[in-house]
């Protein structure tokens, strides 16, 4: 993708993306469990003026196929399923994946 096309996409999507990012960040419960980066939603919520422009740049890069390596990682926790007599097999657990909140915003 050419540089001009990239900047055109970013310019055309910046305003709606800004609103969506603000909405998403404020919709998270502030103290949810963090992903591998250790960032909790409260960190994003208390620093939105600084973080939103940075996130928009990253999201713009994502449109051209450049995904931050940190966003490809997750912490997986296995939660025992209820109603099971034993938890001896993998099928007795439900995997929960915790990713970066910046990715989810």
Residue 98, helix vs strand vs coil:
strand
Residue 100 and residue 37 in contact, taking contact as beta carbons nearer than 8 Å: yes
Q: What is the pLDDT of residues 22-37, one digit of tens each?
A: 899 999 999 998 989 8
Q: What is the pLDDT of residues 50-88, one digit of tens each?
A: 998 898 888 888 888 888 888 889 999 999 999 888 889
Residue 26 and residue 7 in contact, taking contact as beta carbons nearer than 8 Å: no
List the domain range (segments joined by +) for residue 82. Answer: 3-104
Q: Domain tally for the chain?
A: 1
> CA nearest 12: which of 68, 80, 60, 44?
60
Average pLDDT, the chain: 84
Against a cut of 0.85, is the pTM above it? Answer: no
Give the DSSP H/E element, type plus range, for residue 76.
strand 75-80
**DSSP class of 30:** T
Structure confidence at residue 2 (pLDDT): 54
């Amino acid at each position: 993708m050419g540089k001009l096309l990239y900047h055109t996409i970013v310019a055309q999507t910046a305003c709606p993306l800004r609103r969506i990012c603000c909405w998403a960040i404020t919709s998270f419960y502030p103290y949810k469990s963090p992903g591998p980066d250790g960032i909790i939603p409260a960190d994003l919520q208390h620093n939105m003026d600084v973080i939103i422009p940075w996130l928009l740049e990253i999201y713009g890069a994502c449109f051209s196929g450049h995904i931050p390596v940190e966003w490809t990682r997750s912490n997986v926790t296995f939660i025992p399923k209820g109603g099971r007599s034993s938890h001896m097999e993998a099928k007795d657990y439900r995997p929960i994946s915790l990713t970066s909140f910046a990715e989810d915003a």
